[in-house]
Copies of this chain bind each other. A is one copy, B any other.
């Protein structure tokens, strides 16, 4: 769950950036940048949501599994932990991210073998039907043409093999106390991702997308995060460090695009933080889809 991306560049220059620099990385590709702080944010998100997002994904030992768009390996380590004995291949369009993913797996799952490939998912270097299962998490939201991507992925999946797709949907976010300023700030993030050619409301579209891409037995299930005072680790790990941090990171870009004023944006961010304080609540729905290649 990240924000905008414009092209398949690797922005190695941003590796020492702080979170306030995220938005300025836009011109180089991925709006959050490829900074250490962003890698940590993605890791926090993955750790907080591991049970929510990975539950139900179980591949038999020996399965040939492809993780598409592994990024910095935030999900890869959980995929490996939950599925010992699979033959995992991981691809990403960013060589720098791939290097970080490799380092993360080495550190957290030493001795586990992964085949890493630097590749665009539209032109995967694998023959037809190479894999038993595909795992695609927080990738489609960034793409200009998800149907073309799904067609390319389907090609490398064997008939009868499964594709798992996990996506968020920023339009699913709601919270207490309600705030028009906070909703506007979230809407700016959605708008920026649209301007960058992505779709941060893609979660709700997974069923038609997979169906139209020719998969069968398409089953999409909502996985809703609900963070309140009874779950301080979720409030910290999800509301503050994942969602609000993500909205906050596009401040400069939203101002530069003329979508809002500094005052209005900051009021929205303050109101979002309020939902993480005592008496506040925050809710967000991810979608997990499972489908089969005929």
Interface residues of chain A, those whose CB is within 8 Å of chain B, are 169, 171-172, 174-176, 178, 201, 204-205, 207-208, 211-212, 218-222, 224-226, 228-230, 279-281, 283, 285, 287
Contacts and interface: CB of A to CB of B under 8 A. Distances in A.
Given A222-B224, A228-B220, A287-B226, A178 B207 contact: no
B208 A279 contact: yes
Nearest to A211: B229
B178 A174 contact: no
Given A172-B283, A174-B171, A230 B221 contact: no
A225 to B, nearest CB: 8
Contact of A285 (B211, B221, B224): B224
Nearest to A281: B204
Contacts of A171: 174, 178
Given A211-B229, A219-B230, A230-B219, A204 B224 contact: no
A211 B278 CA distance: 11
A53 to B, nearest CB: 15
A254 to B, nearest CB: 20
Contacts of A230: 207, 218-220
A130 B212 CA distance: 57
12 contacts: A169-B174, A175-B204, A176-B201, A207-B281, A211-B229, A211-B279, A212-B279, A219-B230, A220-B228, A220-B230, A222-B226, A226-B287
